[in-house]
């Protein structure tokens, strides 16, 4: 069985590879070190172990990419993480802003049997409380690319699909604004010079978001 450490490295490689589409999925050692929270030297060491386990391909001074096995493991960890988050919100009543940290630990402690019970109890959901897609048991993920509030059409009724930041303070702010996944919104205006976006959640006070915040709120519709 992969250790908790290995699961975390593989998960972070996957997530980092998702964010930066530019490079061919190759994740730099520095980026990975930051994501995992260790010094770069540690990553060099660990990556060699991951190569030996057949989970990643590694090009010295280039970066790492997941092998098929590595990606399968990453998606399995992510499935556990996201189903656990949803369980914590829907069944145990935790706030969506706090479940990420809890799931970060629980994702390494949930067996396949328990995982599939959670999935069944929740009705095989496709997204977690943040709108992040839940990989299927077979390792398929919804790879839909969505526009953020920073780049979507102005004036058209949209729906918040996903919030791509796990910081509890940010999520609570999003909550207060009424920009949670599922909420109807319209972008009323955008000011490039001011790096600002004026957003109106349906039936709520309009909010001005800076570009960085707007980019974290993905919409559909």
Partner DNA sequence: AATCCAACTTTGATGATTCAAAGTCTCGGC
Partner DNA sequence: GCCGAGACTTTGAATCATCAAAGTTGGATT
Nearest distance, CB of residue 35 and DNA, angstroms? 12
Among 19, 20, 45, 126, binds DNA (CB under 7 A): 45
**Residues whose CB is less than 8 angstroms from the CB of residue 146 and which lie 6 or more positions away in sequence, other chains included:** 161, 162, 218, 219, 220
- Binders of DNA among 62-81, rule CB under 7 A? 63
Residue 60 within binding range of DNA, rule CB under 7 A: yes
Residue 56 within binding range of DNA, rule CB under 7 A: no
- Contact (Cβ atoms closer than 8 angstroms) between residue 122 and residue 86: yes
How is residue 202 written in tokens? 């349906």
Distance (Å, whole) CA 5 – CA 209? 36
The residue among 48, 53, 80 whose CA lies nearest residue 67 is 53
Nearest distance, CB of residue 19 and DNA, angstroms? 15
The residue among 80, 122, 135 whose CA lies nearest residue 102 is 80
How is residue 24 written in tokens? 């061919």
Give the DSSP H or E segment for 58: strand 56-59
Among 105, 154, 194, 212, binds its own copies (CB under 8 A): 105
Nearest distance, CB of residue 40 and DNA, angstroms? 4
The entry of its own copies, DNA, none that residue 110 binds, CB within 5 to 8 Å by partner kind:
its own copies
Draw the binding track, 5-34, toward DNA (x: CB under 7 A; -: no contact): xx---------------------xxxx---
Among 38, 106, 137, 184, binds its own copies (CB under 8 A): 106
Q: Which is nearer to its own copies, 109 or 212 (CB)?
A: 109
Residue 164 within binding range of DNA, rule CB under 7 A: no
Residue 46 within binding range of DNA, rule CB under 7 A: yes
User: How is 77-140 classified by DSSP, letter by letter?
Assistant: HHHHHHHHHHHHHHTS---TTTHHHHHHHHTTT--HHHHHHHHHHTTS-SB-TTSPBPPPTTS-
Residue 172 within binding range of DNA, rule CB under 7 A: no
Q: How many CB atoms lie within 10 A of CB 35?
A: 18
Size of the site for DNA (CB under 7 A): 24
- Contact (Cβ atoms closer than 8 angstroms) between residue 43 and residue 91: no
Q: Tell me which residues touch its own copies (CB under 8 A).
A: 88, 91-94, 98, 102, 105-106, 108-111, 113-114, 117-118, 121
Q: Tell me which residues touch DNA (CB under 7 A).
A: 3-6, 28-31, 36-47, 49, 60-61, 63
């Amino acid at each position: 069985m992969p250790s908790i450490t290995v699961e975390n490295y593989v998960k972070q490689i996957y997530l980092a590879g998702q964010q930066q589409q530019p490079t061919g999925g190759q994740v730099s050692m520095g980026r990975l070190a930051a994501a995992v929270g260790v010094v770069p030297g540690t990553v060099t060491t660990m990556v060699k172990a991951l190569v030996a386990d057949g989970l990643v391909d590694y090009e010295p001074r280039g970066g790492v990419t997941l092998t098929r096995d590595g990606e399968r493991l990453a998606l399995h960890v992510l499935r556990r993480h996201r189903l656990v988050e949803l369980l914590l919100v829907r069944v145990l009543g935790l706030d969506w802003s706090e479940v990420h940290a809890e799931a970060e630990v629980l994702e390494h402690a949930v067996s396949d049997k328990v995982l599939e019970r959670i999935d069944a109890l929740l009705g095989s959901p496709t997204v977690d409380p943040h709108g992040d897609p839940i990989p299927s048991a077979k390792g398929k993920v919804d790879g839909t690319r969505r526009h953020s509030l920073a780049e979507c059409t102005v004036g058209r009724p949209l729906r918040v699909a996903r919030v791509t930041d796990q910081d509890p303070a940010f999520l609570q702010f999003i909550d207060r604004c009424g920009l949670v996944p599922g909420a109807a919104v319209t972008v009323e205006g955008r000011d490039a010079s001011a790096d600002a976006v004026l957003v109106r959640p349906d039936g709520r006070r309009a909010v001005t978001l800076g570009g960085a915040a707007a980019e974290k709120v993905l919409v559909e519709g």
